[in-house]
Structure 1
């Protein structure tokens, strides 16, 4: 087996959540949403979100990275690369969030890069880069991917989509080490369309952060045009992956997505003719939408109910717009309880 064809193993996601829980009802009351928005927020299928009061995105990233390094028994100094899925509002302009995380966890010899600009799908771009490094760079065996979610604006409610929670997750991707992990990354694909590049945005120049507001430039474009386009993209991406690996739709044991709302899951089940894994709804209710973190924790939690050798499709999308699908295979690794760390 050559480096180009060596399997890439995906570890369990080491997740970290702040200990401050914001029940949805209190959040809706505190944000004083209009009546129609209150009804929408309460119908999303979200019970609560976590709030990282006083913590930066790099703080969250460090805690998640340390969780997965501890769980996998990996020395940070042995990492060949560290890829940080950048948040939407860095602590400083011109500074480096990625190298800050590198320094704090002690990954001193790692090649480091930030990966962003694609919203939730940025984690898929990070997986693509990680796979390229593992298969293309001599001697590369371990790449750590870290993703965070932290609300950039004061309001956590993002109409007409979801409610944002805070948290982080990290996964270790390995190749040629013999190390165990619940999944093998079989294949992945990603597409983008710049026509929707600023559909969701925050006008931040010359405004204090307390006045930042997440805005949807056109709700009809999001709820209709982008939804129709996304259905076509996912149908094509998934068909391409299955065809490339001689699989039929019936061979997929689990379909996973990011967590936006219960109605979004229902839409995708009808549009694609699949059943979304129940872990997605459970994590949506507990944490709200965690951006690029969603698919990492959903994939980890789904592993416990999947038989060795079965396949799963992990679908991810972003209103920028971007779409990705991962084809993963459950390994024979015995599952232990995945790391879920909380507190400051």
Structure 2
């Protein structure tokens, strides 16, 4: 395999990334915890959107390894071993590091320092009232053993967003409380400074914020192991689609079937490129005469066509880890210069700029 002809030119990348992006563009910050490979839920929920955003905005994607540790401190290799996996997934779906800054959270000191400053502006009671935090604490069954890092990760997210002065943050609707808390911190800091140092951000919701697992019982999740990875084999895709929940009462082809709650239709809505054709399939299914097997075959062909080229590109990238590291390093160096400026402004607001 000739990686030189198929992969990105790292030397050219470093030069391009070092160039300051056009300040006239609105800034977007997004990212993923490095706790495993990305899957179709990530693709439809955020990755597709990022491909569009990188053409329109100044976009930064953060590989959030520090936030990955907030509930994996006892097993740090789950995070460290997946950093390059996430970067490979980004490149495989078409994220272009000459258009999007891809950087590593733990390698940007300003983010941790900002988190410490902001922590003094937020009470424990306010963190505990955050609906997203409450929900995730319950789902992870921490009880009274909540890691401090996990409890305070809304502050860490606020540091990430404000450090890049992002005005748009792509999130699922379950993350809206995080945006609210970030903007609270922004207003408090600006009040202390007596001027607008930080900027408030707005959420950018995706068309499909949550993709269900094949059984329809939970959302697709890395931690639950119920996901279709972006490098899933043809056989794995076939197995996953065959196992998908449809309509338990649709026992015969000629019987009318239910579309609501039918996971196959949820996936067709998310991935099939022809919405009119999907609407026809729904009408046919509801009238009777369309079997589950035929419906699943349509979805399987769709997912095979989608994933095959991603799988092929990802295999090339993951086999050149030196290049992945160089891409991440170049993006991180660019991010450091940007975030250091914000850090100095925040330190000045606290009067901590003696030298």
Alignment TM-score > 0.5, same fold: no
TM bucket (normalised to shorter chain) is under 0.3
Q: Based on CA coordinates, which of the two structures has the bigger radius of gyration?
A: 2
Task: Give the strand-richer structure, 1 or 2.
Answer: 1
